[in-house]
Amino acid sequence: MQPLSAIVQMFHVYKTFDDNYRALIDINLRIEKGEFLFLVGPSGAGKTTLMRLLFREERASSGQIIVYGRNINKIKAGRIYQLRRKIGVVFQDFKIIPTKTVFDNVAYVLQVLGQPKSEIERKVYAALNRVGLEKRMDHYPKKLSGGEQQRVAIARAVVNDPVLLLADEPTGNLDADRAHEIMKLFNDINLHGTTVLMATHNIGLVGKMKKRAIYLREGKIAHC
């Protein structure tokens, strides 16, 4: 088998916040193209911080982070959008916009990028189809269940075909059945070629999925 190339490489990465709190300590991590990797650990372990470093929401205090071949600590502020274009992000609390329809929530990022209308429609329909919400595109989020709202957030995250999908506790607010459906969806997205990094507390789900898991404890990788 051909060796896969890495989408993410972290070398001796530290993150210290202003109050001198060391949230990440000597993180070394390689995520292969096409991989589905779990990030597990107790509250406060540093999972969200690690993900925020990957799309430059936060900057590493030291160490090197390579995402899709680029040293992201060196990207100038005005160019961060180029990195973010390649990364989809899904959060626990969905973060969809209540005053926009399902279609517009998913289309928004493409509209900001200035893509042509026909292209936007094609991509939004495809993304909503992938998450099974094509019939709901004119609805407003308040009419949707929690699981459906999370699907909108997932459609938005994959609409521009990211190379990397970061999901931070995406099932945290859902019941067990809904959580299972959402995990299946992430698995499908991964099978289509998108690399997935998912933070979760839910060890039960991790066990079922049979994927590699990284354990964080007090900012350090405990074992792989």
Looking at 1, 2, 3, 19, which residue binds ligand ATP (CB under 6 A)?
A: 19
Residue 92 makes contact with Mg ion by CB under 5 A: no
Among left, alpha and beta (phi > 0; psi -120 to 50; other), residue 20 is left
Can residue 195 be called a binding residue for Mg ion (CB under 5 A)? no
Count of residues that bind ligand ATP according to CB under 6 A: 12
Is residue 200 a contact point for ligand ATP (CB under 6 A)?
no
The answer for residues whose C-beta is within 8 angstroms of residue 156's C-beta and 6 or more apart is 88, 96, 105, 106, 108, 109, 127
Run of H or E including 3? none
Residue 23 binding partner per list Mg ion, ligand ATP, none, with a CB distance cut-off of 5 to 8 Å that depends on partner kind: ligand ATP
Q: Which stretch binds ligand ATP (CB under 6 A): 37-45, 78-86, 102-110, 189-197?
A: 37-45
In this structure, is the dihedral angle defined by the CA atoms of residues 182, 185, 190 and 195, taken in order, positive or negative?
A: negative
The only residue of 15, 41, 48, 186 in contact with Mg ion, by rule CB under 5 A: 48
- The residue with tokens 């990022």 is 109
Q: Judged by CB under 5 A, does residue 200 bind Mg ion?
A: no
- Asked if residue 20 binds ligand ATP (CB under 6 A), the reply is no
Which of ligand ATP, Mg ion, none binds 46 (CB below 5-8 Å, type-dependent)? Answer: ligand ATP
Structure tokens belonging to residue 80: 């961060």
In the bound state with Mg ion, the residue whose beta carbon lies nearer, of 47 and 56, is 47
**C-alpha distance from residue 153 to each of 8, 98, 212, 213 (Å):** 23, 12, 24, 24
- What part of residues 49-78 is at the interface with ligand ATP (CB under 6 A)? 49
Handedness of CA 83, 68, 109, 99 (dihedral sign): negative
Q: In this chain, which of 10, 13, 27, 45 binds ligand ATP, going by CB under 6 A?
A: 45
Contact criterion met (CB below 8 Å) for 84 and 166? no
Residues of the shown chain interacting with ligand ATP in the complex, contacts defined by CB under 6 A:
17, 19, 21, 23, 41, 43-49
